[in-house]
Structure 1
Amino acid sequence: MRLTNCWFCSSTIYPGHGIQFVRNDAKIFRFCRSKCHKNFKMKRNPRKVKWTKAFRAAHGKDMTKDKTFEFEKKRNRPERYDRNVTENTLNAIKKIDKIRSARAADHIKKRLKPNKKKINDDALGEIDQHINLIKAPDALQQDSEKKKKVLVSKKKSVQNEAMEE
């Protein structure tokens, strides 16, 4: 069973599925569904269409430049069977999967890090806007009186400094 990738979105195409387009120069384009075929006919660039894998790779949304992906490359040279080599390979696959999942988690953390401060600021702004729902009315009055006293004392200290100069 031969699995191919869609030319436009890079998803896998299973046998008996998809559309095949052959250009005049005998170049073959395979598409997983009519959506990809129509976008190709409209001459859209897959790197500019947000739902494609090419866009995600070009804009740093997916882990594409990780060295653990090199282990899955297809190798067409035959190897002589050796039980020890097979056992070591299976153990290495488990380690590689652990490494890849850890790197993927780090990648997600790095992508979410800049947004964390914005979310925090938004939450604080929301609290400031609706403080009357959180604090009792008496506490609000006391806070406003304290703020007035602090402002008055600051004004006096600024005036005193100006007089001394």
Structure 2
Amino acid sequence: MKRNPRKVRWTKAFRKAAGKEMTIDSTIDFEKRRNVPVRYDRDLVQTTIKAMKRVGEIKARRERAFFKNRMAVSRETQRAHRRKIIEGVKAGVKLHEPMSVESPVSSKVQEKIKVTAKRHTALLPGEGRSMGMDID
């Protein structure tokens, strides 16, 4: 099944088109595939590995800053949305005075409540059997 990569949410093309990933950055240029093979040189390999680590650190820092900027915008919209909801609730609800802390019946005077005693039943549970008649 053919699909447009800009409409499929998990593709890099979608993330870049939707502004969820960095599109213009010099660190991306270092990750491009090189088609021309280079003759092996020990010093070149060492400097390349050091450069890769450094570029990775720079890229991670830039991605963190990009993400924080994205989330700062969403945080402001969330705050505005919450304020709007709270204002709507305050306008529509009439608040009552809180009930007094003391209850109308003081704690010193307690009412006596009659509780019926448990009746003694003639049926007693048998040895591992249910209560009732014996069934052969």
The normalised TM-score by structure 2 is 0.54
Which of 6, 22, 28 is equivalent to 1:63? 22
Stretches of structure 1 that go unaligned for 5 or more consecutive residues are 1-36, 139-165
Q: Provide the residue aligned with 1:161 in structure 2.
A: none
Which of 50, 66, 90 is equivalent to 1:107? 66
Q: Aligned pairs, how many? A: 93
Q: Provide the residue aligned with 1:72 in structure 2.
A: 31
Closer/same/farther in 2, CA of residues 121 and 93 from structure 1, 3 Å limit: same
Which of 42, 46, 56 is equivalent to 1:87? 46
Percent identity between the two aligned chains: 41
Q: Which has the higher helix share?
A: 1
Structure with larger RCO (C-alpha < 8 A, sep 6+): 1
Mapping of 1:2-41 within 5 angstroms? 37=1, 40=2
What is the one-letter code of the residue matched to 2:73? P
When the two chains are superposed, the root-mean-square deviation of aligned CA atoms in Å is: 2.8
- Give 4+ residue runs of structure 1 displaced > 6 Å after superposition: none
Distance 1:49 1:82 in 2: 42
Stretches of structure 2 that go unaligned for 5 or more consecutive residues are 100-136
The normalised TM-score by structure 1 is 0.46
